[in-house]
């Protein structure tokens, strides 16, 4: 825990660590420096619309009014 591991991409000292899931090799640690971390787009393990759909269902169950905004369709639930 005291040592600085190198960035998996560029070799500079890493500042972040995370787990990646590779179908061929299983889960692995990925160490990245700040620049490589910021340059790497996030990956979603679920379709982007699914969390919104689940949020809508929970709000409906709790009888709460919910308005969401997406770039694709604008305001929903008005």
Sequence ranges of the domains in the chain: 1-43, 47-78
Q: Which DSSP helix (H) or strand (E) runs through 61?
A: helix 49-61
Instruction: State residue 21's pLDDT score.
Output: 81
Please give the structure tokens belonging to residue 29: 């640690």
pLDDT in tens, 13-54: 998 888 888 788 888 888 999 998 888 877 767 776 788 888
Which residues, other chains included, contact 2 with Cβ-Cβ below 8 Å and sequence gap of 6+? Answer: none
Residue 57: pLDDT band by 50, 70, 90 thresholds?
Answer: very high
pTM of the predicted structure, to 2 decimals = 0.46
User: What DSSP string describes 1-58?
Assistant: --S-PBPTTT-SBP-EEEEEEETTTEEEEEEE-HHHHHHSPP--SS-THHHHHHHHHH
Cα separation, 59 vs 57, in Å, equals 5
Cα separation, 72 vs 28, in Å, equals 34
Residue 58: pLDDT band by 50, 70, 90 thresholds?
Answer: very high
Instruction: State residue 62's pLDDT score.
Output: 94
Instruction: State residue 42's pLDDT score.
Output: 74
């Amino acid at each position: 825990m005291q040592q600085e591991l190198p960035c998996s991409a560029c070799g500079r000292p890493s500042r972040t660590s995370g787990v990646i899931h590779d179908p061929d090799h299983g889960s692995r640690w990925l160490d990245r420096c700040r620049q490589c971390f910021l340059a790497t787009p996030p990956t979603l393990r679920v379709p982007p619309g699914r969390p919104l759909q689940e949020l809508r269902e929970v709000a409906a169950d709790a009888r709460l009014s919910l308005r969401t905004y997406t770039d694709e369709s604008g305001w929903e639930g008005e």
